[in-house]
Amino acid sequence: MTMQVAFQTLGCRLNEAETEAWARQFRAAGAAVVPAAQADVVVLNTCAVTGEAVRKSRQWVRRLRRANPRARLVVSGCYATLHPDQLARELGVDLVVPNRDKDRLVERVRQLFPFAAAPTEPPVFPRSRQRAFVKVQDGCRHRCTFCIVTVARGGERSRPIDAVVAEIRALRAEGVQEAVLSGVHLGGYGSDLGVSLTDLLATVLARTDLPRLRLGSLEPWELDEGFFALFENPRLMPHLHLPLQSGSDAVLKRMARRCRVDDFRELVRLARRYRPDLVLTTDIIVGFPGETDTDFERTLALVAEIGFAHVHIFPYSPRQGTAAAAFPGQVDERIKRARSRRLHELAARLRRRALEAHVGRTAEVLWEKAETRTGRTGFSGYTPHYLRAWMAATPEADLGNRIQTVKLTGIAPEGDRLIAEPV
């Protein structure tokens, strides 16, 4: 019988890229991708970036086991890599695949649970799938003191440019309109191949006709002027996620970050010289060991100065196996919560300001899915600047996977997206 496989992904876009690759490989081998309740094999890609991510990873193992007790449960990802014995001994997982073996996951599953190939193969992506995550790099040679991911992912390994181009061409042939290049340390792409991220982007833009190309989270270093010059190409979307982590040089030094406050300012200045409308988003860790009130105020001031359109806020949580877990000056949880609230309030104001700046403009929106809001039917999608937009449409409308020029006429009452109208 044809094997039926299901997937669940937690964490970063790199995990999503890996899961999408597994789905393509399973289908190419003749398996069918189905919901978890129907599957013979369920694959869970876990995360361990925070203590909460670990809790969710364990929770999902139990949830998937309860939902389908007969299925074989395969677990990979950072939590699986850091705690393989817990998964096997405590949670009854059938197969643990550490990060170093992720490229062989499908092969290992086929060896343990053989299955026959299906006579026909459905398309990898149904028409409603517009955006694909493409893994181009794994691992990191740097050691930020708070980061467990470098322990779980290991050293830097880059995919050859030709392999990335071939994957994007295949995705384009399947109807995908947008690809997001992903990695643990994306800016370090090619450090092991003698090439750079700039080389990769330039080649993808030259050798594919993909309408929209995006980048995943990108550490704010190892980015030269040639990299930012590529943003003059309208197919490279004008949005970057640059993790700042703190606006205090003292905290950044304890974090072992390679970018100080003035470096970040210069990076933003250079980026906006080539693309003045570039939208920036970021990550901030609140309550890192030793963070003072003054340190936090500097973070607030820098976040406001840069004008991030979105801020992912992480109250610091010690991760066993990282240097920062043993640092003195651990910040009280009440202080973390109070600082997080203030940063959330600032981030909400900046988000509103970013949306307001686009009201009245026209934009090319890639529509993703039908979505009903306040009793009205419509479609939801993203502008090139990675701002969510919604447009009213009849239930019969088939806008999914279409790139459409629209006018952005206002902001939704919830304040989380732009309202669009056809041009």
Q: Rounded to an integer, what distance in angstroms lies between the CA atom of residue 276 and that of residue 158?
A: 31
Give the least confident one: 1-5, 323-327, 335-339.
1-5
Q: What is the pLDDT of residues 183-196, one digit of tens each?
A: 999 999 999 999 99
pLDDT tops 90 at residue 34: yes
Please, which pLDDT band fits residue 120 given cuts at 50, 70 and 90? very low
DSSP code at position 276: T
Q: Give the chain's mean pLDDT.
A: 93
The answer to whether 200 and 218 are in contact (CB under 8 A) is no
Residue 111's alpha-carbon distances to 26, 115, 121, in angstroms, are 13, 9, 21
pLDDT score at 124: 44
Q: Rounded to an integer, what distance in angstroms lies between the CA atom of residue 147 and that of residue 323?
A: 9
How large is the average pLDDT for residues 150-163?
94
pLDDT score at 1: 67
Please, which pLDDT band fits residue 306 given cuts at 50, 70 and 90? very high
Q: Rounded to an integer, what distance in angstroms lies between the CA atom of residue 320 and that of residue 352?
A: 37
pLDDT tops 60 at residue 89: yes
Please, which pLDDT band fits residue 126 given cuts at 50, 70 and 90? very low
Q: What is the pLDDT of residues 39-75, one digit of tens each?
A: 999 999 999 999 899 999 999 999 999 999 999 999 9
Q: Rounded to an integer, what distance in angstroms lies between the CA atom of residue 292 and that of residue 250?
A: 10
Please, which pLDDT band fits residue 143 given cuts at 50, 70 and 90? very high
Please, which pLDDT band fits residue 373 given cuts at 50, 70 and 90? confident
Q: What is the pLDDT of residues 375-397, one digit of tens each?
A: 889 999 999 999 999 999 987 88
Please, which pLDDT band fits residue 91 given cuts at 50, 70 and 90? confident
How large is the average pLDDT for residues 236-257?
98
pLDDT score at 395: 73
DSSP code at position 91: S
Give the least confident one: 82-96, 124-138, 408-422.
124-138
Q: What percent of the chain has pLDDT over 70?
A: 96
How large is the average pLDDT for residues 223-234?
96
- Which residue type is seen at 198? T
Please, which pLDDT band fits residue 244 given cuts at 50, 70 and 90? very high
Distance of CA 207 to the CA centre of its chain: 24
pLDDT tops 90 at residue 125: no
How large is the average pLDDT for residues 107-133?
68
Q: Of residues 286 and 371, which shows the higher confidence score?
A: 286
Domains in the chain and their CATH numbers?
4-112 (3.40.50.12160), 126-237 (3.30.750.210), 241-316+324-357 (3.30.750.200), 362-422 (2.40.50)
Q: Of residues 373 and 71, which shows the higher confidence score?
A: 71
pLDDT tops 90 at residue 297: yes
How large is the average pLDDT for residues 76-97?
91
How large is the average pLDDT for residues 97-102?
95
Q: What is the pLDDT of residues 310-319, one digit of tens each?
A: 999 999 999 9
pLDDT score at 194: 96
pLDDT score at 115: 72
pLDDT score at 397: 86
Q: Residues with Cβ < 8 Å from 50, sequence gap 6 or more?
A: 314, 317, 319
Neighbours of 415 (CB within 10 A): 10
154: left (phi over 0), alpha (psi -120 to 50) or beta: left
- For residue 369, which of 405, 399, 392, 394 has the smallest C-alpha distance? 399
pLDDT score at 118: 57
